[in-house]
Chains A and B, each alone.
Chain A
Amino acid sequence: DTEVTQTPKHLVMGMTNKKSLKCEQHMGHRAMYWYKQKAKKPPELMFVYSYEKLSINESVPSRFSPECPNSSLLNLHLHALQPEDSALYLCASSQVPGQGAYEQYFGPGTRLTVT
Chain B
Amino acid sequence: QKEVEQDPGPLSVPEGAIVSLNCTYSNSAFQYFMWYRQYSRKGPELLMYTYSSGNKEDGRFTAQVDKSSKYISLFIRDSQPSDSATYLCAMSANTGFQKLVFGTGTRLLVSP
Contacts and interface: CB of A to CB of B under 8 A. Distances in A.
A8 interface: no
A43 B104 CA distance: 9
Contacts of B32: 102-103
B88 interface: yes
B41 A111 contact: yes
A45 B100 contact: yes
Best-buried of B43, B88, B103 by chain A (most CB within 10 Å): B43
A111 B90 CA distance: 22
Interface residues of A, number: 28
Interface string A103-114: 111111101000
B46 A109 contact: no
Interface string A18-40: 00000000000001010000001
Interface residues on B, range: 20 to 34
A94 B98 contact: yes
A106 B98 contact: no
B59 to A, nearest CB: 16
A104 B97 contact: no
Given A104-B90, A106-B44, 11 more contacts: A56-B99, A97-B96, A101-B49, A103-B46, A103-B49, A104-B98, A104-B100, A105-B46, A106-B36, A106-B46, A111-B41
8 closest A-B pairs by CB: A42-B102, A106-B43, A103-B49, A108-B43, A109-B43, A106-B44, A102-B32, A107-B43
Interface of B: 32, 34, 36, 41-46, 49, 51, 88, 90, 92, 94, 96-100, 102-105
